[in-house]
Amino acid sequence: MSDTASLIVWLVGALVLIAVETTTLAFVAVYVALGALCAAIATGAGAGFGGQVIVFVLVSVSSLVLTRKPLRNALGKTPLVRSNVQTIMGRHAVVTVAVPAGPGSRGQIKVGTEYWSAKREQDIGDAIPEGTTVEVLGVEGVTAVVRPLEPEVAA
């Protein structure tokens, strides 16, 4: 195989491996792609096929062994950020669009500064009028499940 053909094979192989890495996110194919790129550089420097293969194997294996674990540990230390779904459960909200009674009926609530689609805890009961304070019991998809707070009884 000519040097040009070898160079093309190594470069195409590296590109394919990078594409595989982006779809699998296994964090392995990138090392083999690096080995292929180094083999392409060795080809350009005039190395024979045996030298290209040795460079490919040495770079792939050594980079995998030396850097994969420390990089995975560093990437795994990202702080866990709670999504808004967990932060609204148990909070009080104000109904901004009345929550009608009946199955599949949706209204809207405002929790803090966010607006959420809302439905009643149960499909039975009266509509929850605009301005009513409700408690968020959970979230189903993108809809908050709410129940009206009972008005406090005067003592």
| SS3 at position 82 | coil
pLDDT score, position 81: 61
CB 136 within 8 A of CB 148: no
Calpha distance 30→48 (Å, rounded): 24
Helical spans, DSSP H, in 29-155: 29-44, 49-75, 84-88
Q: What pTM, to 2 d.p., does this model score?
A: 0.49
Calpha distance 88→91 (Å, rounded): 5
pLDDT in tens, 68-97: 888 777 777 656 666 667 788 899 999 999
Q: Which residue has the tokens 């968020």?
A: 136
Ranges of each domain in the chain: 3-75, 84-148
CATH of domain 84-148: 2.40.50.140
| SS3 at position 25 | coil
pLDDT score, position 53: 94
Q: Does 125 or 138 have the greater pLDDT score?
A: 138
